[in-house]
Amino acid sequence: MLYRNSGACSGATNEEGGEPNTHFGNKCQWSDQITASWVEQFKGMEEKNKQMMEVESSKGMSAGQSDEHQRAWSEHHWDRALKKGNYDRSREKLNFEITKGGKVKPVNKNKRITERIAERFSACGIKDPNAGKKIPTRRTVVNVIFGGSRERMHEIAFGNQRVDLSRGSDNSHITRATDIESWAKDMYQFACDQWGEDNVVGFYVHLDETNPHAHCTVLPITADNKLSYKKVLAGKDKFEYSNKMLALHSALAVVNERWGLERGSSVAETGAKHRSTEEYRRELSKKNTWLESEIKSHQLTLSNLYSQIRLAERRIKGLTTMVTNLEEKEINVRQELGKLITLSKIGEEQSAELQEHRLKLEQELADVINKIEEKKEKLQQAEHILMALQYEVKEETANRDETRREVNNAVKDMSRQIKLRLVEAGFDEIVDSFRYLFGRMTSTHDSSLFDNSFVQDIAERGNEIIICASFLFAGLVDQATTFAQTHGGGGGGNDLAWGKRGDEDEQAWARRCMRIASKMMKPATGTKRKI
């Protein structure tokens, strides 16, 4: 689950650097209108530097994610990253990590975060609950990103040096300011205070991207060494989680005060992440690029594993044949030895010769038995290796399939967001068109066709319905009621069915919020407003 501290507020300037959006207008984007409504008390406030913290849980960490945090990339991966992402390899040397005790160290690429996670689980006597599962079900890792407004983070990271952010630029002359190390130590200590230093298994600061930031990998392990994402972070329900996140951001703001970074507004408070379409497209493109790279990496790993499995199977087959042949030889030697013992009882004149032959057979039998034991031991080892490889294939296949699902979800997400942006771009024009057409209707019969319809509601109160529905969608029922009552609506009464149902997805819930908001925005007297 993603919780983001947005730097945008009602007084923030738009993407093109225009005037602050502090009022409603027919041509304003409705997301700006919502923000202006929600934080009306901040109108006219100049834009300030905001902190940023993202908290996202996951059902484990892949080797690819670990490599990205540590920049433990091959030349091939670097080439892909430089073509598709906002990376600057000339600044990669400025990256660093914070280790136990708050020590600043160069990034250690020799030990993956996945290995550190396994070691921590082992130290706590925890068995990974997702191990062996085709589809992981438990949230075992929490990824936290710390950062802030770009200009301020650049000041902290580089002082008065100016970084050329254009693609392919050479910033090898840029040096790392000591302030970024102190800020990172503060963020590290904050994470340790919140979740325990032993549970912070990775803390990496990236200065080679557009905006300096820190990646912190946390394991949700309780004081009694139990793995519980719910107890450590989520709480019993979404409301407790929301309260925890709000408190977490407030606590971080106290730490960030010395760095000139203020607490921003959460998604629950602003209703949007305030990213432009282009920013969102770039973000999803970057994610898709990484996911596709992950799938190829999984495929390559699987190919190598299958090759190793074929070798292991051939070795097992060869060892099994050897053991069978040696066991047959043991039987033959024992039979011959038995005959020799019988012959030795017939006559003493043959005893010396028989005795020598008997000794040779006994030695040969002993050698055969030793070889059988040796081959059986090697066979057992080969079988263990095969089992381990088969398990690894199962795990890697599950990871690949999960990554494919993530790709599909990302594509769906992009499709939804594009639809949202298109609707958002044309919404005001649609409302204006409805109003214009309704105003030109001369036939009472024609206009009566729209009586009490959603079309009529949108034409009469489109902007207000959107704002009220956004309050409902964010869980701010009291604010929605107050908004409706103070903007000509009756508030909908107390008989409204409220709350997201268990069988509803986000889109169904959004549609119901629109219907409820439409009802809430109807005038209390039941009279129509003039268009």
Of 428 and 522, the structure prediction assigns the larger pLDDT to: 522
Of 493 and 71, the structure prediction assigns the larger pLDDT to: 71
CA-based radius of gyration for the chain:
34
pLDDT at 14 over 70: no
**Average pLDDT of span 66-87:** 85
Q: Give the N- to C-terminal CA distance of the chain in Å, as an integer.
A: 42
3-class DSSP assignment, residue 110: coil
| Summary mean pLDDT of the chain | 76
- Which pLDDT belongs to residue 184? 96
CA 427, distance to chain mean position in Å, is 32
**Average pLDDT of span 357-378:** 87
Residue 252 banded pLDDT, cuts 50, 70, 90: very high
Q: Which of 403, 514, 527, 419 is nearest to 467 (CA)?
A: 514
- Which pLDDT belongs to residue 281? 58
In sign, the C-alpha dihedral spanning 106, 232, 479, 426 is positive
Longest dimension (CA), the chain: 137
Q: Which of 432, 428, 319, 426 is nearest to 378 (CA)?
A: 319
Residue 8 banded pLDDT, cuts 50, 70, 90: very low
